[in-house]
Amino acid sequence: LGEMTTSAAIEKLISGTLEAQGHQAIRKYDSTALPEVYDPAFIAADANLAHIAEGLMVSRSGRLCLDGPPGTGKTAFARWLAERMSLPIVIKRASDLMSKWVGENEQNIARAFREADQGGAILLIDEVDSFLQDRRGAQHGWEATLVNEMLTQMESFSGIFIGTTNLMTGLDQAALRRFDLKVKFDFLRPEQSCELFQRYCQQLTLPAPTSAVLAQLSRLSHLTPGDFAAVIRQHRFRPICSTESFLVALTGECEIKALGRGAIGFM
């Protein structure tokens, strides 16, 4: 069969056997999985996430709203929490739940909460603002109905519900009251960026970064854990061979975001 074909056949056989025995099949690369270098200490939040996790492990119930720019670690924290609590997690995005048919949005929302409840899972709804817009600005009846359904499901859900958004100011006031805790996620602080950079250098077996490299890194604006994850994914087909090239790649990620703000990569 040849080396490559034989390896694929063996992998398929093992995966099939595992599934037949009720286990999980061999997992290939998963871009949504937690990075190997993960620590809630590398999230710039306005609350102690480790302490929150400890409290949730005891209560097994809670409604959290995580607010912040993309890449700041909102979904990753939910995945980490699920792993730490040994619970499955159901993740739904707005595109998974929104429908062009009247009434179907509400059914999809109810189905998502029911799925999490029956599976004993943490439920994460990304872009939750899509379903919790301030009803005072509603122009159609279905908009208010959508918010009402989400609030009803949140109220009756006994497990852990996490909603993520980067548009907190547009949320319905009643929705804000339904959340037990609202946590702001922000861009990495300089000391967090430097520590995370050094951790990844160890993972990539790169030499320790020089003080000059760390000084440049600390001046990068709007750096997020998601930027590090993106560069590490690139490493699979565009290897990072030095701390300098690692820094250049991160700078590029910041500059791409800066295009929409009329800024450059350094402050």
Residue type, 188: L
Question: Average per-residue pLDDT in the chain?
Answer: 86
Any residues with CB less than 8 A from the CB of 122 and at least 6 apart, and which?
78, 81, 82, 85, 87, 88, 89, 90, 116, 159, 160, 161, 162
Q: Which of 185, 190, 196, 238 is nearest to 216 (CA)?
A: 190
CA gap 149, 66 in Å, rounded = 20
> Mean per-residue pLDDT for 115-137?
87
* Location of structure tokens 């320790």: 208
Q: Which range (61-65, 140-144, 173-177) has the least confidence?
A: 140-144
CA gap 175, 177 in Å, rounded = 5
**C-alpha 204: how far from chain center:** 23
**Helix, strand, coil % over all residues of the chain, rounded to 5:** 55, 10, 35
Count other C-beta atoms under 10 Å from residue 87's C-beta.
18
Q: Which pLDDT score, from 0 to 100, does residue 227 have?
A: 95
Q: Which range (99-113, 145-159, 174-188) has the least confidence?
A: 99-113
Q: Which pLDDT score, from 0 to 100, does residue 182 have?
A: 96
Rounded percentage of the chain residues whose pLDDT exceeds 90: 63
Confidence band of 69 (pLDDT split at 50, 70, 90): very high
Count other C-beta atoms under 10 Å from residue 189's C-beta.
13
> Mean per-residue pLDDT for 207-216?
97
Q: Residue 92 pLDDT > 90, yes or no?
A: yes
Q: Residue 235 pLDDT > 50, yes or no?
A: yes
